[in-house]
Structure formats: C-alpha cells, structure tokens
C-alpha cells in the first residue's frame, strides 16, 4: 500500500488501514483458536460461538484485504 500523496487520499488510505488491521485481528483470533484446539485436542474451541462469529466476520472481509493478509502472513513465515 503506497502512502497518500494528496490530502484527499488520506481518508481512503486510513479506511484501508483500519480494515486491514481488523482483518489481521480476526484472522489471528481464528488461527489461535485453531492452534489451541489442535494442541489440546479439544474441538469445542472451534465450535464455540466466538469462533464461529470470527469466521463469519472473516467471510465478510473483502478479497483484496484477504490477499494482503495472506501476503503479510507469508512474509512473517518466511522471516522465521
């Protein structure tokens, strides 16, 4: 994402950053619950209401934002 060069672009870039932040939080919560569930071998975590709510929110995220999240995750995995 390139920085805004005009003052008019500032609001749009801010909206995109906020949506990216929210998408990262949702995806992180989903992955944490899946990891915990796998670690303790307890499927109740991924069947909980909060998990299903997060999955619903993730499904509502725009494809462009999902692709950015995937790129960020890939970069983080590669750096490890």
Q: What's the confidence (pLDDT) of residue 4?
A: 67
Q: Domain ranges in the chain? A: 13-79
Per-residue pLDDT of the chain (80 residues; tens, 9 = 90+): 667 677 878 888 899 999 999 999 999 999 999 999 999 998 998 899 999 999 999 999 999 999 999 999 999 888 76
In sign, the C-alpha dihedral spanning 67, 69, 71, 73 is negative
Question: To 5 degrees, how large is the angle CA 48–CA 51–CA 54?
Answer: 150
Q: What's the confidence (pLDDT) of residue 12?
A: 87
What's the rounded Cα separation, in Å, for the pair 38 and 55? Answer: 17
Residue 3 dihedral angles phi and psi, to the nearest 5°: -70, 155
């Amino acid at each position: 994402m390139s920085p805004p060069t005009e003052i008019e672009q500032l609001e749009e870039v801010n909206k995109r950053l906020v949506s990216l932040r929210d998408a990262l939080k949702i995806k992180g919560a989903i992955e944490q619950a899946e990891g915990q569930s796998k670690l303790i071998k307890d499927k109740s975590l991924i069947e909980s209401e909060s998990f299903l709510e997060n999955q619903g929110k993730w499904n509502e995220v725009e494809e462009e934002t999902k692709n950015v999240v995937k790129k960020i995750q890939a970069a983080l995995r590669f750096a490890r």
